[in-house]
Each structure stands twice: as structure tokens, then as C-alpha cells.
Structure 1
Amino acid sequence: MDLLHSAIRFPTSRFIHPHHPSTPFRNLSRCFSFTARSSLPFPEQKAKYHKELRAAVNVVERACRLCVDVKKSLFSSDGRILEKNDQTPVTVADFGVQALVSLELSKLFPSIPLVAEEDSAFLCSSNLVNSVVNAVIDKACFQDKQLTQVDVLEAIDRGGKDAFSFGPEPATYWVLDPIDGTRGFVKGSEALYVVGLSLVVEGEIVLGVMGCPNWQEDYFNKSTTELGCENVLSGSGIIMVAHVGCGTWRKRLSDMLNSTTKMPNSWTRCFVDGCCLVHEARFCISDSQTWESLPLSDLYDATTNADSIEDKQILLLPTCCGSLCKYLMVVASGRASVYIERERAQKIIKAWDHAVGMICVREAGGKVTDWRGRQLDLAADQAERRIIFPFGGILVTNGSLHNKILELITSSSSVV
């Protein structure tokens, strides 16, 4: 029998609506806990793209294992960390994840192209090629052939900039960020980073999977002063999935990463928090931006001290590397209510930094727009689908606060 048709055991705990005033924000994700003895948290008849989602979950799980294995030898003498032309780091894991995902998805869905961050030209100019090939061979599921260096390099380039041209009409394609938060990945400490994969159909994101190997199950019980990325120790990790109309769910990665025997999947449904007042919201921002550079700073000062918030102050959570980490914070535990990012002339906003986070937030009850309240247009880059052009910046909220914050942004003197 297909595991998807097996029974779902519903929770015996009391039902608590996520927006009920008596529900503590930090415990919202525990209010709806379902144990599903299947590879997905919902029956396949509810999910039009269940085959694609099942494949995405499988490959993101293995990509997370690849990241963990590479991390163990990241600082060895063979130099597994490089710096790209834009001064951002790239590692064996970045290339390895892209190759692994490309290989697996092209095998299962050969007609669906992949939009991803890396290309092999930079890799081939380094001494990392053999390390990447070995990492991919170790995790790929190809029993009928032996992968070669050419196979791996071609797989990387299948998601590269020059792989194909879309044209003006929307299309069906995968969007991959091999590692969002590579700056965190290369830190000596176990900072947060995310493997993010989504599927876009006719301009709409229909499913998404995020894997975060270093996420701790008790992350949302930490005090604010303990939440800096440098203090996040290697924990159980989580994988988060979303499918249009089916909600956002998460499960632990620890059994998959640390054991050869996979335990039955235990999925927990995720919801954004129920905060309705701006001054009571928890905010997170890009690690490359300051609160003073954002329009709300005209009205509120920011503090990271949750125990002492004064009038006209808001609580700003410590930053973590990578945009997808912020999306995950907003959804995974209701830890944050708002993520706000300002567009900058010198920095291009890439689709893979936001696509999977967008559907996870929306399916959990939140909202994502630009600063004018418009949906982010994934087809704006008509030829390559790699760049998005939000007016002003990107606003991610729990939904309840969205219009209020848009009004504050519009009224701010710092918005040009």
C-alpha cells in the first residue's frame, strides 16, 4: 500500500486557534501536531504536485546530508572555501548540492528546467572539482551508471545562467538555492544555513522545501540574547515543506542525518504568529542592513533586549546569514512576526533567495509583497527568471501586520 494512504493520527491535545489571544506566540507551532506515517504530511489527492514534492523532499534531505559531511572537512588543507567575484564565499557544498539536485530532478522530471545560482566555470578554475564530484557520487541515487566528472559539471550547468532562455511567457521550472547563508556555513560555529528548492508553474510557486541542518528544536525557547547565529549549536535540524492549498509543515532531520535507520516521519503544521500590534512584533532584517537604513526607524528605535523594551521601541532579533533563514524564522516557530529588506542599487535581488520562503510563509498564513503591496513577480526577468525587481524592498509578515506596516513605510520620509 502507498504510504500516503496510511492513517494520520490526529492530536489528542486541546485545539487552540493560532490567533487566539491566550496562545503564547512561541508555542504556536506546537498547537497543531500531526504524526503522519508517510513521506508527506497530507494525502496525495490533496496535492496536485505530490510527485514533485516527494522528490523535492527526498533530494533536499540528501543535500542536507551532503552539507553536513562537507562541513566536517571544510577547513582542511585542500582549501574548500573560495571567494566569488562579488566577494561572497562558495564551497564544495554549494556546487555539490546544485549538482545533486540537478541530477536527481532531471532524471525524474527531464522536461522541467532548473534555475540555480552556480556554474561550473568558476569551479573548474579552482582545485575543488574532484572534491565536488566525490561528494555528489556519495549521495546520488544512480544505480545504473557510474557518475563521471563530466556528468557532475554538466549537472551544475543545467541550472546555470546560460542553460536556456525562457522567453516572455511564464513557464514551469525549479528554483534552487544550494546553500542560502554560505557565510554562516563557513563559520567555525554551527550557524544557520538553508538548502531551498521550489517549483514555479505559470508564474506561481506551487511547492517548496527548505532544509536547515543546524536548526534546534528548542530554538524558539531560547532567550533573545541566546539567538545570535554564533550561538546556534548543531541540533536536530528541520525540513520544511509547503504545497499550495495544503499548508506548511516541518519535521526533524536528526533521524535522517544521524542514523542509518529512518524513523516514521512526524510532521508538525506551521503557522505564523498572531501578533496584531506593530510595537509588540518581533522583527528581523538582513544581516547586511541596519535598522537605521529602514523606513520604520523614523517611528521606532530597535532593541535586542527582550526584557527591557521602552516606548517607541521594537524588538529586533539578532540577524542570521541568508534571506531564507529569516523566512524560516517567521514560519518555523512563529519566532518573528516581520522580516523587512530594503532594495539597494548595488545589490541584485535573486529569485532563489526568496521563492521557497514565499510559499512557506503564505501557506502558513503570512504574506509577502514589495513595499507597494504588490506580489513579487518571478517572471519579471523574462529571459532567465533569475532576478526579481520589488519596489522599495521586500516585506514578509504574519499577515495581520502587513497593511499596517505598508502604511508606515509609505508615510516614511526615508522612502524615495
Structure 2
Amino acid sequence: MKSDFLDTPESGFAIEVLRAGSRLASQVRAESNLTVHCKEDNSPVTVADMGIQAVAGKFIEKYFPAVALVAEENTAGLRKPDENARLEEIVRHVKRLIPEADPAAVCTWIDRGGGEAGELFWTLDPIDGTKGYLRGDQYVTALALIRKGRVEFSALGCPELLLACHEKLGKGVMLLSSRGKGCWASSLEADTPWEKLSVSRCEDIKKARILDSCDPGHKNAEKNAMIKRLLGSHHDPIGMDSQAKHATLAAGGAEIFFRTLPEHDLSCREKIWDVAPGAFAIEEAGGRVTDLNGNPIDYAAGNILKNNPGFVATNGFLHEKVVAAIRETVFPK
């Protein structure tokens, strides 16, 4: 990778967060019973989610003290007296990485993520794919820098991923993408050379490999199967948690990923931290990303991407065919 890409505050911040986050998540999984707490929307959150967000909240003060951080977690429940044990566990893990950590500081760092999605901000998902993390499978720490509704930089830390077409990097990779400079990957832990990623050049829809979410609550499985049949793909879908799917597509390990609206909630819309980091990696690797209607993602909409139903990512060559099949299946006239 060219040195001017690495020698920036954006890359410095991202690499510190991704590497520290990977170590913290591994520590928690090795030493804790991985107690899961449910948030108001019934999604799971662990000590690792909160700890990684605390680390990011601390490091952003070093690199971007005047820039907002828009992140998934907060301490609304954690500050309750009956949550003292959970808070102390989070502090214990953060303290190994940041010695000055204490309960008050950790809560402050976590809540640094309560910033406004305004003209310039970072967005963070400390653990995207918490259910995958709990199973010992794929999960990602995801960051993106957004300026005036446009992603300028993103980072994905994928501790369990052996990156397709770049296996010599070993299991555990990070991806950095910068506007106009491409998408690059290196080892998450070792100082290996950076490798530039490119999407697959496949133009035959029947040979296309389709990525799919493992969580049935994140899709309409019946519609997904109908779309696959309509496309005529000969391959079984590749199930994978988190934005590890986006990294895989950016590296050429698959050609298609789409997320339909779950049958139980057709008004469901994606959160910005679940889309922006991985989508930008795909685009910088030469792919294309839209919503189910084929419209660009509106990152100026705020935390919830209210103007964009669903998500479609492809290697670019197949995008129009995929969107056409989705329109016929999901939005029939």
C-alpha cells in the first residue's frame, strides 16, 4: 500500500481501534461466560460490544476530538445500580488496553458514541454480527467516516475471516478503504504487506456466488429463494454473519449479496453503521451498492437509512440483472 494512505489520522485511528477491538473481543470470549443482554429492540449486546465502543470513544479523542462518533451502544442500562457487576467486567477488559480506565471514564467513552449524524462524523458498529461472535463464527468491527452524506473512508476488522483470494494473509484481516484510493487488506495482528482488493470479474449470472445472512430475522427467506431461482444461479447461497460478507465480496470471493425486508417488518430500514463501512469497501474494490429499488444509499438520512429499503451489493457487472429480479419478486406490479 502506498505510504500516503497509511500515514493519515484516519488510518491511524482505524488500525488502533480494530486491533484493540480484536484483542478485547478475544479476551472476553476466552475468559467470560459471554452473558448476553437484550436491548429494547431485542438485539443482543455483550461485554465485548460495550468494551470495544469504549476503546473507540477513547481513541477518537486522540485523533479526532472535534468529530462526532455515531455508534450503536450507550450506557442507559449500564449505569443502573444492578448493572455494577457488568460495568466492572467491561472496565476490567478495557483496562488491559487502556490502563487509566475506570467506571466513570468507560461510561464517558461509550457515550462518546452518542454523537449526531451531521455534516461530518464517524460511525461505528463495535461488533457487527453479535450472534456470530457468540457462536465463535464471523463478526466485524466496522468504522466509516462520512462527510456531507458521502463516505470518505471505512475500516473493517474481521478477526475470524480467511479472506477469499488473499488466503496468505491468514485468518484475521482488516480492510481499509479511502475514496479514490481503493480497498486494501492486511493481517489484523501481524505487520504483513497490504494487498489491494478487487471484486470478481464474473459476468455469467449462472456462475455467480450469492452471499446470505445467517440470521432469519434479517431477511425474507422465501423471497430470497425466489430471487435466486429467477437469477438461475447454480451455486448454493453462502451463509455468513456480519459485514464479513461485504469483505468477501470486495475480495472477489462472491458476486452478489442482497438483504430483503423481513416478512414480519416490511418497514424495517438499515442502520448506518450496518451498511456504510462494508458498502464503501465494496465500491472502492470496484463493486456497486444500492437499495432494493436500485437507488443509491442516502447516508445523509441520519442513523436510520429511512430512504432506502433493503440492500443490494454486487461486483457491478451483474447489478442490473439482480435488481431486476428483486423488483419482479419483492415489488411486483
- TM-score after normalising by structure 1: 0.72
2:45 corresponding residue in structure 1? 90
Shift of 1:404: 1.9
**Aligned counterpart for 2:173 among listed residues 235, 238, 263:** 238
Please tell me the residue identity of whatever aligns with 1:371. Answer: L
Distance 1:399 1:147, change over 3 A: same
Please tell me the residue identity of whatever aligns with 2:325. Answer: L
Please tell me the residue identity of whatever aligns with 2:94. Answer: V
CA distance in 2, matches of 1:74, 1:293: 39
What does 1:300-311 align with in structure 2 at a 5 Å threshold? 300=229
CA distance in 2, matches of 1:195, 1:52: 15
Shift of 1:412: 3.7
Distance 1:108 1:299, change over 3 A: closer
**Aligned counterpart for 2:131 among listed residues 183, 198, 206:** 183
Q: Is the 8 A contact 2:208 2:233 kept in 1?
A: no
CA distance in 2, matches of 1:291, 1:80: 29
Matched, 1:366 2:324: no
Distance 1:180 1:299, change over 3 A: closer
Q: Deviations over 1:343-365 (max 9, x none)?
A: 34363411100110011001100
Q: Is the 8 A contact 1:217 1:236 kept in 2?
A: yes
Matched, 1:336 2:254: yes
1:52 corresponding residue in structure 2? 10
Shift of 1:218: 6.8
CA distance in 2, matches of 1:374, 1:206: 19
Q: Is the 8 A contact 2:270 2:305 kept in 1?
A: yes
CA distance in 1, matches of 2:266, 2:320: 26
What does 1:128-167 align with in structure 2 at a 5 Å threshold? 128-140=86-98, 146-160=100-114, 163=115, 165=116
2:226 corresponding residue in structure 1? 297
CA distance in 2, matches of 1:158, 1:399: 37
Q: Deviations over 1:69-126 (max 9, x none)?
A: 1110232xxx632222322221110000001001101232111000000000122343
Distance 1:361 1:301, change over 3 A: same
Please tell me the residue identity of whatever aligns with 1:293. Answer: K
Shift of 1:415: 4.0
1:42 corresponding residue in structure 2? 2
Matched, 1:378 2:295: no
Matched, 1:352 2:273: yes
SS in 2 for 1:198: strand
Distance 1:254 1:58, change over 3 A: closer
Q: Is the 8 A contact 2:173 2:186 kept in 1?
A: yes
Shift of 1:410: 2.9
Q: Deviations over 1:144-197 (max 9, x none)?
A: xx332111101111113xx4x45xxx511000000001001112xx20100001
Shift of 1:43: 2.9
CA distance in 2, matches of 1:298, 1:147: 49
Distance 1:128 1:415, change over 3 A: farther
Shift of 1:413: 6.6
Structure 1: state its 5+ residue gaps. 1-40, 222-234, 256-263, 303-311
**Aligned counterpart for 1:247 among listed residues 182, 187, 209:** 182
Distance 1:316 1:74, change over 3 A: farther
Matched, 1:119 2:74: yes
Please tell me the residue identity of whatever aligns with 1:238. Answer: V
Please tell me the residue identity of whatever aligns with 1:372. Answer: N
More helix by share: 2
2:197 corresponding residue in structure 1? 270
Distance 1:171 1:414, change over 3 A: closer
SS in 1 for 2:12: helix
Shift of 1:338: 0.5
Distance 1:134 1:240, change over 3 A: same
Matched, 1:321 2:256: no
Matched, 1:203 2:121: no
Matched, 1:102 2:57: yes
Please tell me the residue identity of whatever aligns with 2:238. Answer: P
1:31 corresponding residue in structure 2? none
Q: Is the 8 A contact 1:42 1:246 kept in 2?
A: no
CA distance in 1, matches of 2:297, 2:41: 24
Structure 2: state its 5+ residue gaps. none
Shift of 1:57: 1.5
Q: Is the 8 A contact 1:184 1:193 kept in 2?
A: yes
SS in 2 for 1:237: strand
CA distance in 2, matches of 1:218, 1:300: 25
The structure having more radius of gyration, on CA atoms, is 1
SS in 2 for 1:128: helix
CA distance in 1, matches of 2:330, 2:179: 37
- TM-score after normalising by structure 2: 0.88
Shift of 1:297: 1.3
Distance 1:391 1:204, change over 3 A: closer
Shift of 1:219: 8.3
Shift of 1:374: 1.6
Please tell me the residue identity of whatever aligns with 1:325. Answer: A
